[in-house]
Structure formats: structure tokens, C-alpha cells
């Protein structure tokens, strides 16, 4: 038995009775609802939109990181300039301590941070050993206390790749190093890794 057929009202092509769309002209037959065709353009636009949003987020993160790094470098540079200034003031204070003998021991020796602070030769922050995010230490020579002393300033939160350490001694010269500077209580000398600090603001 031959299956029932029906003609396409648009092109008269003979079609199976169950057909909803003409295979010849592509038109839908009366009573048949057209199937929703995927809208590729909308899908593509949506995908592009999400990509742009993702790129904007990445750009914002990179920009925020750059701003944060720049602020950290600026703060570190300011702290280091203050540290160098503190060490130079410390050298002047040691000279006055030796001349005035505020501890009254009758010897022209040098003082510790606490002694310099008690004599009013340095400020309370420096006397406490903590200032400008650095730890300050002073060592008077145990073999020549009337001739030598050394002060070092180490960052409180050192960065292995960027932190610098500073020191000053009885010569009045300030040195810096990318390696930690030991507190030499004998010869009170700078290590070989240290180099003089320029007197310019850039601290080259």
C-alpha cells in the first residue's frame, strides 16, 4: 500500500503526508510550525561580550598591580632616604657624645642607642631601634671603645631581591648593601659587599 502524500501548496511538489516542510522549495506547509533555527549571530555576539569582559578584568588587575608596585617602590625609596638621614644624625650624635661625656664615666667613648637617647642626642624613635620600617643597632667596639663604633639599619620586612641594608661607623661614611650587614663589634668595619651611599637624593 502506497503511503499517503500531499502536494506542496507553494510549488506543487508531491510530499509525504507527514511532511511539515517542502523539501523542494523549503517552505513550511500550512498548519506546520517552523522550528526555531539557532541564531548564530546572537551566540557569537554573546561570546565576544564575555571575552571583552574577561579582558577588561585582566587589564584592571594588571593596572592595580602596577599601581601597587609603584606605591611600594615610592614608599621604600622614601624610607631609605630617611634611614640614611638618621644614620648621618647618629654619626653626629656619637661625636657629641664623645665630646660631652654625658654618661659621666670620664672616658671619651661612644654610646649605645639607649645612651644616646637618654642624653637627648637622638629622637625617641631612633633610640628605640625601630624607625622608618628599619631596625637600627649600634655596636661600640669592645677592643677600642674610644675609637670605633658601627651602626646598622636593616629592613623589618626584607625582600630578597630588592631590600637594601645600611650602615655608618666612626668615619661618618654611610654604606649600603643588598646583603645583610653584620654588627662587627671589634673592628667596626663595613663588609666587602657594601658600597658608599651618594650624597644625592637618589641615593645611587
Domain ranges across the chain: 75-196
Q: Right CATH number for 75-196 from 2.40.50, 3.30.70, 1.10.155, 3.30.540?
A: 3.30.540
Distance CA 171, CA 197 (A): 13
Q: Which helix (H) or strand (E) holds 149?
A: strand 149-155
CA distance 40 to 72: 48
Please say if the pLDDT value at position 148 is more than 80: yes
Q: What is the pLDDT of residues 126-147, one digit of tens each?
A: 999 999 999 999 999 999 999 9
Question: Is residue 65 scored above 60 in pLDDT?
Answer: no
Please state, for a pLDDT cut of 90, what percent of the chain lies above it.
55
Out of 4-8, 162-166, 194-198, which region has the weakest mean confidence (pLDDT)? Answer: 4-8
Smallest CA-to-CA distance from 139 within 105, 179, 102, 190 is with: 190
Q: How deeply is 185 buried, as exposed, middle or buried, from its count of CB atoms within 10 A (0-12, 13-18, 19+)?
A: middle
| Beta carbons within 8 Å of 148's beta carbon, 6+ residues apart | 110, 140, 141, 169, 170, 187, 188
Stretch 85-89: mean pLDDT: 96
pLDDT class for 200, splitting at 50, 70, 90? very low
The total number of residues written for the chain in this structure:
204
* 136: β partners: 153
At residue 204, the pLDDT reads 41
Average pLDDT, the chain: 82
Q: What is the per-residue pLDDT for 155?
A: 96
**Contact, 149 vs 169, CB < 8 A?**
yes
Mean pLDDT of 64-83: 63
Over the stretch 17-61, which tens digit does the pLDDT of each residue have? 777 777 777 777 777 655 555 555 666 666 767 677 777 756 655
> Angle at Cα 174 formed by Cα 130 and Cα 121, nearest 5°?
50
Model pLDDT, residue 202 = 41
pLDDT of 191 higher than 70: yes
For residue 46, the model assigns a pLDDT of 63
Check whether 103 has a pLDDT greater than 60.
Answer: yes
Amino acid at each position: 500500500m502506497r503511503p499517503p502524500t500531499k502536494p506542496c501548496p507553494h510549488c506543487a511538489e508531491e510530499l509525504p503526508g507527514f511532511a511539515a516542510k517542502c523539501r523542494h522549495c523549503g517552505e513550511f506547509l500550512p498548519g506546520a510550525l517552523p522550528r526555531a533555527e539557532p541564531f548564530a549571530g546572537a551566540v557569537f555576539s554573546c561570546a565576544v561580550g564575555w571575552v571583552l569582559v574577561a579582558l577588561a578584568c585582566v587589564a584592571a588587575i594588571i593596572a592595580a598591580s602596577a599601581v601597587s608596585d609603584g606605591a611600594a617602590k615610592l614608599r621604600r625609596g622614601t624610607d631609605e632616604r630617611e634611614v640614611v638621614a638618621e644614620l648621618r644624625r647618629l654619626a653626629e650624635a656619637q661625636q657629641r657624645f664623645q665630646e660631652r661625656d654625658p654618661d659621666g664615666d670620664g672616658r671619651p667613648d661612644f654610646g649605645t642607642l639607649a645612651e644616646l637617647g637618654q642624653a637627648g642626642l637622638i629622637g625617641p624613635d631612633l633610640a628605640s631601634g625601630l624607625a622608618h620600617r628599619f631596625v637600627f643597632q649600634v655596636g661600640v667596639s669592645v677592643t677600642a671603645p674610644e675609637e670605633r663604633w658601627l651602626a646598622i639599619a636593616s629592613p623589618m620586612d626584607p625582600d630578597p631581591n630588592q631590600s637594601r641594608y645600611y650602615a655608618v661607623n666612626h668615619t661618618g661614611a654611610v654604606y649600603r648593601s643588598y646583603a645583610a650587614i653584620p654588627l662587627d663589634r671589634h673592628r667596626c668595619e663595613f663588609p666587602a659587599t657594601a658600597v658608599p651611599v651618594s650624597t644625592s637624593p637618589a641615593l645611587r
